[in-house]
Every structure is written in C-alpha cells, then in structure tokens.
Amino acid sequence: MLQTFKNHWPHYLAEAAGLGFFMTCASLFTTLLEYRYSPIHLAIKDPFARLIVLGILMGFVIAAIVYSPWGKKSGAHINPAVTLAFWRLGKITTADAVFYTIFQFLGGAIAVQIMGLILGAAYRLPSIKHVVTVPGPGGAGKAFIAEFVISFILMLVLLLTINSKKTEKLAGLFAGFLITLYLIFESPYSGMSLNPARSSASAFAAREWTGLWVYFAAPCLAMLLACEVFRAIVKGRVEVAKVPKEEEEKEEAEPQPVAAPSAA
C-alpha cells in the first residue's frame, strides 16, 4: 500500500483539491446569496430565484472540476460513493480506493475550515451554517429516498456516458446539468448532497449531525445499485477506462487501476 501511495499520490491530491474547490465555491456562493446584508441577496429577493442561481453556478463548478487538469488526472471522483462504485466495477484498486476516500474527506474538511476563517460570522448563521446538509421537513426517511434517487440517476447516467467513445467527453456537462437540476428541485428535501465527504465536512464544522447517516447510506447504496443496472444494460461490455491516459503510457505491463473518468 505504501508503494501505491508513492506512485499515485498526485491523484490523491487531485481528489482533495477537487472536493476542496467544490466546497469552497459552495460556501462562497451560498454566503453571497443567503447572507441578508449581501448585495446579491438584497438584489435577488425571491428565495427560489436564488436557488436557481446557486444551481447554475454549482453546475458550472462541477463541469470545471471534471475538465480541469486535476480532474483529468484522478478521474474527478471527488466522492467516496463514486469511488466505491468504480471499485465495485474493478476500475480502481482497493489501495487506491482507500487513499482516494481519505483525501476526499480531508479536502472537503480543510476547505470548509478555511472558508469559516474567511467568511467569519456570516458563515455560521442559520441560513448558511457551513452549507450543512440536513433532512428537510419530511424527515430522514424522505431525505433518504430523495438522495437515493438522485444518486442512482447520476451514477447510471455517468456510467452509460463514459462507456461510449461518442459521449464520454460529455460526462462533465451531463453531471453539471444534473447538479443544477438537483440543487433547484431536490435540495429542499435533503439539502442535495450525493456525497458522504461533502456532508461530513459541513457537519463537522457546524457540529450538526442530524441525519448524517442518510448522506452515507443513500449515495453509496444507490451508486452500487447503479453499477449492477449498468452491467445488466451493457451485458458485460464495460469499457470504462481503468487509468488516465498518461498513466497507461507509463504502466504498459498490466497497469494498476487508478480511476475512471467520473463526474460526481
């Protein structure tokens, strides 16, 4: 495992940077939109209109991460549930999956702590609260169902997209579009997480643990199910790349699986 870390540590840092960037943008945009003295908040009175703006912005953020140099290096999982799914498909080794997950959690947590220092008291207000994800008025049960559905759809769409040479380059756009829709229409039910590391980062900073299990269980179970449905659809023709292109050139003899180009 130590040798794996030495060989692939740039990929792990890329994963930390990817989720860190996502959390930084989510924190900044949410504060600008929801802090009551923010000029943007004052200019956009309607809460739903602000949610639309946030959804569009975060959709662009996801696409930017996927197509960025660090996203291309690691496959842009930035999500332990996505990494678990690719491990299940045999596209990432156990050692790499462990380090991917560790660095995803670290990247998200560090970013939220830094944004807390930068944004100060505004970041701790109930309307923002470290961009924490908690179940909506329907409770943990409805939040679980909502998270499960959006996670399943996202993973299945991504797998089908990146399994075709004709559509694989569109994965980032599809992911960004779905994130936009989810933030606008699903976030009132669960806060729209899809990601255990993302929710843990905010929960730890805010000391808010309500329904945290939902954001571990639902995405992981849903994305694993998406893997099985994907396998049934393609009937075993899984063409998702095992490693980024630059790694294949270096490891011609039985390359170690590192990542597959994902977008979640």
Q: Is the pLDDT of residue 184 over 50?
A: yes
In this prediction, residue 236 carries a pLDDT of 65
Q: By three-state DSSP, how is residue 7 classified?
A: helix
At 197-235, the pLDDT tens digits run: 999 999 999 999 999 999 999 999 999 999 999 999 988
Domains and CATH numbers, the chain: 2-250 (1.20.1080.10)
Distance of alpha carbon 61 from the chain centroid? 11
User: Cβ(168)–Cβ(76) under 8 Å?
Assistant: no
* CA 263 – CA 259 distance, rounded (Å): 11
Q: Is the pLDDT of residue 250 over 80?
A: no
In this prediction, residue 242 carries a pLDDT of 59
Q: Is the pLDDT of residue 77 over 60?
A: yes
Q: What is the mean pLDDT of the chain?
A: 90
Determine phi and psi for 253, rounding to 5 degrees: -90, 105
Q: Is the pLDDT of residue 256 over 70?
A: no
Q: What's the token pair of residue 84?
A: 């678990």
Q: Is the pLDDT of residue 173 over 60?
A: yes
DSSP class of residue 255?
A: P
At 7-47, the pLDDT tens digits run: 889 999 999 999 999 999 999 999 999 999 999 999 999 99
* CA 122 – CA 128 distance, rounded (Å): 8
* CA 226 – CA 159 distance, rounded (Å): 8
Element (H, E) at 256: none
Q: Is the pLDDT of residue 255 over 80?
A: no
In this prediction, residue 38 carries a pLDDT of 96
Greatest C-alpha distance within the chain: 59
- Name which residue leads in pLDDT, 153 or 70: 153
Q: Is the pLDDT of residue 244 over 90?
A: no
